Amino acid sequence: MHQLFPLCLLVAAAVASPANYQMSALGDDMIFYINHVANTTWKAGRNFQPQELNRVKSLLGVNMEKNRVYNRKHLKYQEVWVSDDLPKEFDPRKKWPKCQSLSEVRDQSTCGSCWAFGSVEAMTDRICIAGGGAVHISAEDMNSCCDSCGMGCNGGYPAAAWDWYVKTGVVTGGQYGSKQGCLPYSLAHCDHHVKGKYQPCGPVVPTPKCTKQCEAGYSKSYNADKQFGSTSYGVRGVDQIAQELVSNGPVTAAFDVFEDFLSYKTGVYKHVTGQYLGGHAIKIIGYGVENGQDYWLVTNSWNEDWGDKGYFKIAKGSDECSIEDMVVTGKPKL
């Protein structure tokens, strides 16, 4: 029976396009279709069990339409001068090897705080790149204390997070249990995946309370520990985004998530099949070419067991899933 299932599925999928063949979200039939029927640039695999779909949807903390409205009202776009010798491929971990945060994959846990993570991760990298040393900007502080950014674990606005960094400042803080900085993340890493090394993820939790007080034993007060940005701005255009990465480091972006993305394993992701689930914020760190397909290199916040060791590649140059539509970043005040 195990041998007959894929064969029967192949026949059914071959005669039925995704438009008229309703595959089950996170199901084996969708994974099989992507890997063996669809002519695509990536491979799928088992990351979540089908019954986890509603929980996974709650991790997608960006309402794309509301974010577009917010950006139109508040985000100022900066014109980026593009060099004639802009490299075809770029990996910041090679250009700035001393900045270890560029190789770090965080975990938002059971909370829709992707908007905070995609923002503080890029802020952290840019402080190091600009010569400000190895500090971790706190996702806890951003998620719990920025009232103007949104609703904490129920979603928020990346552009508002960068504005808050400039106007109010954000304290330091590493991942759960790290004892790094003023306010490390209070929610534990959890096993978002079928097989991982952490405790199983439970239902989405309420937003942790904003304490405005550093962990016991930390050397600075909450206010004294604040790190500030000097500017925040949006970036438009493929080459301008690429140049921004090369010149100043990672950026925050949001994109549309469909059911097939949840099963991503390797390759350059393009939406193939499945229904729309919501918006997700991430950190774009670089770009490149794989088998002739341009891609953005992206750090996710579902820990290093998801996807390609916590990273994914997504098609570059065609605004795949609106990945190039809402790029926001800024510079630190050192």
Q: Can you count the helices (H) and strands (E) in the chain?
A: 9, 8
3-state DSSP assignment of residue 201: coil
Phi, psi torsion values for 285, nearest 5 degrees? -110, -25
What secondary structure does DSSP assign to 45-85, as a single string? --SS-GGGHHHHHTT--B-HHHHHHHHHHHPPB---PPPTT
- From the candidates 114, 145, 190, 201, give the one annotated as an active-site residue: 114
Closest Cα to residue 115, out of 163, 73, 150? 150
CA 201 to chain centre: 18
280 is an active site residue: yes
The residue count for the chain: 334
Q: Spot the catalytic one: 136, 192, 271, 280.
A: 280
Catalytic residue among 63, 143, 248, 300: 300
Phi, psi of 289 (to 5 degrees): -135, 130
How many angstroms separate the CA atoms of 289 and 316, rounded?
A: 9
Rounded CA separation 295/317 (Å): 8
Catalytic site positions: 114, 280, 300
